[in-house]
Amino acid sequence: MVLSATEAEDLLRQLAPQVLGALVRRYANFDLAEDATQEALLAAATQWPRDGAPMNPKGWLITAASRRFTDLLRADQARRRREERVAQWAPTEVSDPYGSDQGRADGDDSLILLFLCCHPSLSAASQIALTLRAVGGLTTAEIARAFLMSEETVTRRITRSKQSIKNSGHRFAMPTARELSSRLDAVLRVLYLIFNEGYASTAGANLQRVDLAEEAIRLARTLGAALPEDGEVAGLLALMLLTHARHRARSGPDGTLIPMSDQDRSLWDRDAIREGVDLITAALPRGPTGPYQLQAAIAAVHDEAPSAEATDWQQIVALYRVLLRLDNNPVVALNHAVAVSMVQGPDAGLELLRELESDPRMNADRRFHAVRAHLHEMRGNIAAARDEYEIAARQATNLQQQRYLHRQIARLDALA
């Protein structure tokens, strides 16, 4: 099977977490397994476009990585200690050159690896970096660019994360039934944070990182395939699909932000919307209903509206009220205030925002001040709206968000 360089790269990115997972499960050594996997991937990237891919690409990679793992282990410190460890960890020789891993489902080790990377001993930032590196197959440089950090910082974070997992003594296996709920919550949160950073980059010159959002969707699909009956897994995947469906309409040719009310809805991805709606429609009756399902249901109402004016804001308000009972955080409360203002008018929304003023997280968030500016403008208070837009612009860290807010200020100045 002859592959182009691009086809080989796509296939290797897909197989990388499966190969790494197989080695970590077999040898219980994250660092050496990752090094061996990277060297096997490099060999494949060189050979496959030239000589053609093998009939069993995953098996080829596992075999090559296992051999390289043994070489790396033998290169470790004392000879006797090296040989003892090789003897202890070496795989059993069988007639199948690809080993017992060929009988496993493709996604098994990737899923276990995902749970391992979201180990509860790690910070959220470390969980994200390790997940993108080990499961997503992103390079350290790609992760650094995505989150505007230096490669050295990302390298240190990933190294500390792997050491923490090693010190914890956690076995490479799916969590037990007792562990699953809390560990699954962490996995869902990490995927949600990765997607959010792709959908609306917190800093930098680009409004969105489509590749990062699509990687989060891919990982959520893997999780959904393994846990098809879990409503919150389905809810998160549906939320991602329904939100990402709008990405082509969210920015203009020059990258500038376009709010949902002004977007060209013909650019929305109708296939993704249908898939997301089908997922959330099937998940909601199964119960219990969780925050990701409710957010997906809200996204579905937006996506199914033929125009901004036709949006069913009454239904969105009702869904936010339920979501507030489950997840009473200030961002949900902010979005609820926006929805209420669309039903009851700007004064009702501003009254709800006054309840959030004392929260320091909100006062330091450009979204809070941008919403308040919009509501002041709705009620004709142009001076107050301009002041709020100025505060929001100072707090925005993404260049396109800053430009959008400055355009609003200039527009209000022209009205004065």
pLDDT of residue 108: 55
Q: What is the pLDDT of residue 104?
A: 44
Query: pLDDT (tens digit, 9 = 90+) per residue, 205-229?
Result: 889 989 889 989 998 998 999 889 9
Q: Which pLDDT score, from 0 to 100, does residue 97 have?
A: 32
Q: Domain 339-416: which topology? A: 1.25.40
Annotated domain spans of the chain: 5-94, 107-223, 228-252+262-311, 339-416
Q: What is the pLDDT of residue 95?
A: 33
> Per residue in 322-357, pLDDT tens?
999 998 889 999 999 999 999 999 999 999 999 998
pLDDT tens digits along 5-54: 777 777 887 788 888 888 888 887 887 888 888 888 878 887 888 888 88
pLDDT of residue 2: 66
Residue pair 111/225 in contact (Cβ under 8 Å)? The answer is no
Residues of the chain where predicted confidence (pLDDT) is lower than 50: 77-80, 82-87, 89-107
pLDDT at 103 (0 to 100): 36
pLDDT recorded at residue 277: 98
Q: What is the pLDDT of residue 90?
A: 43
